[in-house]
Amino acid sequence: MRKTLVLQLLIAIVATAFLSSCNKSRDYKDSSRATGWKMNSKDGGFQYNPKAKEQETGPGLVFIEGGTFTKGKVQDDPMHDWNNSPTQQHVQSFYMDETEVTNLMYLEYLDWLKSVFPPSDENFRRIYEGALPDTLVWRNRLGYNEVMTNNYLRHPAYADYPVVGVSWIQAVEFSNWRTDRVNELILEQEGYTARNARFDVKAGETFNTETYLNAPTLTYGGKDSLTRGGKKSEGLLRKNEDSTGLFVQRKDGLLMPSYRLPTETEWEYAALGLIELRNYNVYRGRKKYPWDGQYTRSGNRRSRGDQLANFKQGDGDYGGIAGWSDDGADITAEVKSYEPNDYGLYDMAGNVAEWVADVYRPIVDDEFNDFNYYRGNVYTKNAIDKNGKVRVITADSIVYDTLSNGKIIARNLPGEILQVPVDEKETYLRTQFSESDNRDYRDGDKRSSRYFQTFGEDEEIDESKRMYNSPKHRVASDSTGTLDRQFDQSSNRTTLVNNEVRVYKGGSWRDRDYWLDPAQRRYFPQDMATDYIGFRCAMSRVGSKSKEGKRPRNK
């Protein structure tokens, strides 16, 4: 018996040693497979982070494994507009907010802006005012809604309700702010930046992720005591004053990718929640709503007949008769009031419709691209000064834009890197893009209009003959702040579609069940807001398609 145990132990030791040696031969930690040089050597050479793990799920997000699906498969079309054609699309894995962004989440954003850029200071007043939701969206000429106008955003009773009155532009700015606050906390927790540095900032001294990655010494307004004030940075500095590890770099895999609005394709894919079809490896199954079945009422025994989403059930019927079979809300409902879809996402139908990133076009181009489809790319690059360094926005160099509705917003906040369009240096002889602004590509540019001719290409197309001949309202402000509104008086306009209208998806508390179909799509000006459109954020997945440790179901 003892001999058998000893023999088994020897075999185990030999096997372990053999496997260990095999793993070492394949290990990036020891030497490069390209040159044979030792990696992470104290003497120099290439430094690599062997402890880097797969991307972690950011605050508030849910992992959505990518795959193939049929986009734009509208189940019913009583409007007969058919502005969405079914196309087979593939989506990379990504993350999406579990719920819509709530009033409480947005109030945290407003509180940060107010403390860093006090509106009492005339230099920063428009930053805070430009981020405020439009609470007047609740007003109706023949309805009494002042209770929502005065209370919906700030009263604690509505804290966990989805924020509304937010334009597409404001939603994008919130996403940018959220990215910086999440990464700022990561750096502090990892010991690179000073403890509580995020609370000790003023205008022009804020943290920005891209500034930190591209010009770390300019972060926090150039305050080295904050940027390198963490315990880990102090330890590295004592070892080597010129150490390259004083700042976190993109190759370290520590910082999160950007929070952003989901693309239309991502949103529709996530809303459908086709994960239950994985068992059969199919993606053409008919699914009308984010839940199973063809009806809006629950078929479960305990909740039979109850509505599965918050929507308008009929003329004058926003919530049903009180009691059973009621959807539980007349306006918006508290997030997580209804069951999530198979991805764990709440309210992907009903409650509020949601902004997505795409510029609206009536027809999706199903021939040019079927991978991560998105219309709206405007490529930019970091502005570089005469000394070869990136240009960071300061408190004295904020640029403001006047929107079509007269609202004034900051184009960049202090601490961010100034962005400029890409030029010929980046586009020359490229095959995949030839200019900075690609919103019109194949649908809206000169070549896609019916007036295009192969000769005379250098001639400017007549404004009245553009493919999307939308009104051109102009609003400007003088030195006193007085707005000069110039409304388009032309009687020849034929559409409201242009590059400043964005897609929004999902039905809302104001909509009939027809709009609950994830394939339905509508558009709205990007600088305007309503009482029925909110938003949620997404984040790209870097690295593997699946979560670590996941295996095919046939193994």
CA distance 218 to 226: 11
CA distance 96 to 270: 8
Q: What is the mean pLDDT of each run of 10 residues along the chain (555 residues)?
A: 62 60 51 85 78 87 93 77 81 97 98 94 91 96 94 97 97 97 94 89 90 93 87 69 72 93 97 71 62 75 75 85 77 94 93 97 83 95 91 89 85 91 93 92 82 58 72 76 79 88 95 90 95 98 80 49
pLDDT of residue 418: 93
Which residue reads 């996403």 in tokens? 175
Q: Which pTM was predicted?
A: 0.89
Residue 398: CA count within 13 A, CB half-sphere = 20
One-letter-per-residue 3-state SS of 534-547: ECCCEEECCCCCCC
Q: In one letter, which amino acid is 454?
A: T
Domains of the chain: 58-113+125-179+257-288+332-376+506-550 (3.90.1580.10)
Query: Helix, strand or coil for residue 260?
Result: strand
Which residue reads 């939308």 in tokens? 470
pLDDT of residue 475: 81
CA distance 473 to 347: 35
Strands, DSSP E only, in 210-344? Answer: 259-260
Which residue reads 């593997």 in tokens? 544
CA distance 39 to 348: 47
- What backbone phi and psi angles, to 5 degrees, belong to 106? -70, -30
Q: Are 343 and 492 in contact (CB under 8 A)?
A: no
Residues comprising the chain, all counted: 555
pLDDT of residue 18: 55
Q: Which of 279, 267, 285 is nearest to 94 (CA)?
A: 267
Please give the torsion angle defined by the CA atoms of residues 291, 292, 293 and 297, in that order, rounded to the nearest 10 degrees. -40
- What backbone phi and psi angles, to 5 degrees, belong to 189? -65, -30
Per-residue tokens: 28: 């990036």
Rg (CA), the chain: 27
CA distance 131 to 145: 23
| Whole-number Cα distances in Å, 295 to 101, 305, 459 | 27, 10, 54
CA distance 368 to 361: 15
Which DSSP string do the residues of 267-300 spell out, in sequence order?
Answer: HHHHHH-GGGGGGGT-------SSSSSS-SB--S
CA distance 352 to 74: 19
